[in-house]
Amino acid sequence: MRVAAGIVIALSLVVGACGRTPPPPREYQVKGQILSVSPERQEVLVNHEDIPGFMAAMTMPYKVKDPALLEGKAPGDLFTATLVVEEVDAYLTSLDKTGSAPITSPAAAPLITASDLLKEGDRVPDHVLVDQDKTPRLMVSLRDHRVALTFMYTRCPLPDFCPRMDRNFAEVQRIVAETPELADVRLVSVTLDPEFDTPAVLKKHAEALKADPARWHFVTGQQDEVLDFAKRFGVTAEAPSEAGGMMVHNLRTAVIDAQGRLVKAYSGTFWTPAELVADLKAAPAPAN
């Protein structure tokens, strides 16, 4: 069973015409062991076995539909559960204790040191990256623009992690387009799966999201280059061990000022489009 250094996330975004009928929810049976319980977030972190037809065995957090499902649950409990995957959500609808056992999963070794991480006020370094139009996209090319930057990739089945980054950025794009004082703002989504997410793949993904190519860049590059860049923002990523498997990585979203300096970074999904827009407004604007 694999242990994630951060949150396990996956991306499977379905975009369609208004008024279409969403696909029916899918249900999967899950077996594993509870590692931690977070009632305040209605979330449980588990090690689970292979889920046939869905994903390989790994460690990841799941939301619960009913907070009462967490009552009486504790680290070390063995469980069976029902996972429901909707188009834009995923959650457990049952969580039944079947026994208990010592937690034997090894703690993940730290993959990022303090010296790797950018601090607020640090200038974001350049890396050799290209966007969905095969245009070189160094950070220096975005000077004189305030930037919102996040990390994602374009395949995998869970809708509430990377797909949420896409949905949030789509909403930020809408707000920015309607706000003259934010005309300089650019959005950057960096794939963590560059071997699959070629510029052509990212271009189709951007078009599905109705991304304005003049405002929202989807960026890829050589794997080592991408992962070195991600590490500076506190992102670690582990490629799937088999074809079609899920990538293990955590989420970080950053605001960068017009001089290319880090202003703020969010972890996970704990931010809203409105909060990100407020941070962009507060960042120093480019000089006229």
- Tell me the pLDDT of the chain (288 aa) as tens digits: 444 434 333 333 333 334 556 678 889 999 999 988 989 888 888 888 888 877 667 677 788 989 999 999 999 999 999 999 876 678 899 999 999 999 875 444 445 666 788 989 999 998 989 999 999 998 889 999 999 999 999 986 677 788 999 999 999 999 999 999 999 999 999 999 999 999 999 999 999 999 999 999 999 999 999 999 998 998 877 766 555 556 777 788 999 999 999 999 887 777 899 999 999 999 988 887
What domains sit in the chain, N to C, each tagged with a CATH number? 26-100 (2.40.50.320), 130-282 (3.40.30.10)
24 exposure class (CB count in 10 Å sphere: 0-12, 13-18, 19+): exposed
- Are 72 and 44 in contact by the 8 Å Cβ rule? The answer is no
Q: Decide: residue 269, CB within 10 A, 0-12 exposed, 13-18 middle, 19+ buried.
A: middle
pTM: 0.69
